[in-house]
Amino acid sequence: MCGIIGLVSKKEVSSTLVEGLKRLEYRGYDSSGIATISNEKIERVRSKGNLKFLEEKLLSTSLPGNIGIGHTRWATHGTPEEKNAHPHITDKVAVVHNGIIENNNQLRNQLIEAGTKFASDTDTEVVCHIITSYINSGLSAYDSIRASINDIRGTYAFGVLIASEPNKLFAVRGGSPIAIGSADEENYIGSDTYSLSAYSDNITYLKDGDIAIIENKSYEIFDQSNSLVEREKQSIIESVTLSEKGIFKHFMSKEIHEQPEVIAKSLSNYIDMDNSLLCVPDLPYDLSTISNVTLVACGSSYYAGLIARDWFEKFTNVKVDVEIASEFRYREPPMDSNGLTIFISQSGETADTLAALKHCKSLGQKTISIVNVGDSSMCRNSHASLKIFAGPEIGVASTKAFTCQLIVLACLAIKIGRLNGSLNKDQEKDYVKSLLSIPRLISNTLDKEDEIVKLAHDLSNITTTLYLGRGQMYPVAMEGALKLKEISYVHAEGYPAGEMKHGPIALLERDLPVFMMAPSNTLYEKTVSNLNEVIARDASVILLTDEKGLENIGYLKDKIKTFLVDETDIISAPFVYTLPNQLIAYHIALLKGTDVDQPRNLAKSVTVE
């Protein structure tokens, strides 16, 4: 969740640390801080709130030093205030941390009994004091850090400064990602590729149990058995320009409008354009014999899994389950020995999903990770991975990553269907043709943004709303409700339209906004029946449909608001109906004046359970 940056250089580093934190602020913005070593003394500046407050403090505070660490926080232990901001320090040690120390209370009590005084409510400060105690006992800096991580339980990535080692930066991984980036006479640590892409052309991810000792010209990595090891150095290939807002006011707006382009890029990696056939890469097992599929994810990625269930079941004739990662492994469900489990995550670092992946591998499941970050932990831990090619997504509320996940899931479902004989070549070509139409259909929807702006103005004062749909439109409705909740703080719920009469219909009252997704498909007439139920209770309906759907509701069109999209099919409908929901959420949030890219209490990469 939190973001870590660190740097060893020949020049002063404080300004570079702050710039690095700006690239990490999507991971947390409750508070921030940096620490450096100068004359073998640790110096620190911290601030509550987002980075502008830290920058203001640094205008009047000198923070010299050619080595330093920085942190932007998403609060777990302790409220978002300056005393809980990282780095946490003693006279000998400074620590920044991403993760959770699960035995924090036990360790804290032991330290308090030994006379330690705490200045914060965080679990991280415990680590700081433990390292210090080992140094005071006479251990070296490295041995003190190694002994400390043997004492703690949980997930963590640490950046550590030791006052007596003014030219060495230490990095530790235990379940949360951290990587090293190298440049001329400078070495960096960071939480992800994006945080390091402005400073280095390459990146080296640590593995669990690793401790790295980093100087400005070199670094060494020691694994959990204390053996000196080499980890693979990878090129950073993402364009930094993809991570700038350009002409857009917010990253979210930019990323919504990038969808035709990034979806086309994703398609180009999975489709043979010359022959209109799939070119999904071969996987290290036989997909034709898969007996069942389980899709595991959190948040928007879970809704992508619910949408994809339709494709997998219709195209493969294989039983499909969709599971929320945070609940899945604790149920310990029986798993078919010939099953395929697919894990969906934008970052590839989502703690719940990663834990579920490791659990399923231990049960002998075939595993695939569908991710946006090709060198992520989930990629490294699964048998195979498929990248979604969305490019960096900085807005906390997922938009383009969600639709690119759908692209890869659709391609994989068609691929399995062809391999097990459920689909023939002509059917594959038809579905590929539909996939290739999606960038155009999304562009057509984006061209109608002015209509969404007008609709948002009409709805700018809403405090609660419902989203309804059937079939694939049910998870599209849930995703639409989630977007509105995330960035505008409006209470919103997505329901299956047919379930209204089993309870939620009690919520309907005059002028309550109700969004209904109703493409003119086989479920259209049933959805219109639910539409009548809503109108009869005087709720205010906003119907998303196509021309054919609008024609078929007759006189009802005068009782509702409508937003028309192009006619769709089983492949394209989820994409086309997702777009207006993203735009509605964005423009209502603008009118309400919320922080669109950094909504309260949320962070982009959820690396704690």
Count of all residues that appear for the chain in the document: 609
Strand partners, 371: 345, 387
Q: DSSP for 246-286, please give it.
A: TT-SSHHHHHHHTHHHHHHHHHHHHEETTTTEE-PPP-SS-
Six token digits for residue 282: 């071969």
Distance CA 134, CA 595 (A): 43
* Sequence-ordered strand ranges (E) for 298-353: 319-324, 339-345
**Amino acid at the residue 310:** D
SS3 188: strand
Positions marked catalytic: 2, 604
Taking a C-beta distance cutoff of 8 angstroms, is the pair 409, 370 a contact?
Answer: yes
Characterize 45-80 residue by residue with b for buried, 16 or more Cβ atoms within 10 angstroms of its Cβ, and e for exposed.
Answer: bbbbbbbeebbebbeeeebebbbbbbbbbbbbbbeb
**Is-contact 43 35, C-beta < 8 A?**
yes
The whole-angstrom separation of Cα 315 and Cα 272 is 19
DSSP assignment letter at 87: P
Handedness of CA 418, 424, 426, 431 (dihedral sign): negative
Phi and psi at residue 587, to the nearest 5°: -75, -30
Strands 31-38 and 67-73: antiparallel
Q: What DSSP designation does 346 have?
A: S
Running DSSP on this structure, what letter comes out for residue 598? Answer: S
Q: Which two tokens stand for residue 405?
A: 């996940």
**515 beta partners:** 467, 542
Secondary structure (3-state) at 411 = helix
H helix runs in 190-235, sequence order: 193-196
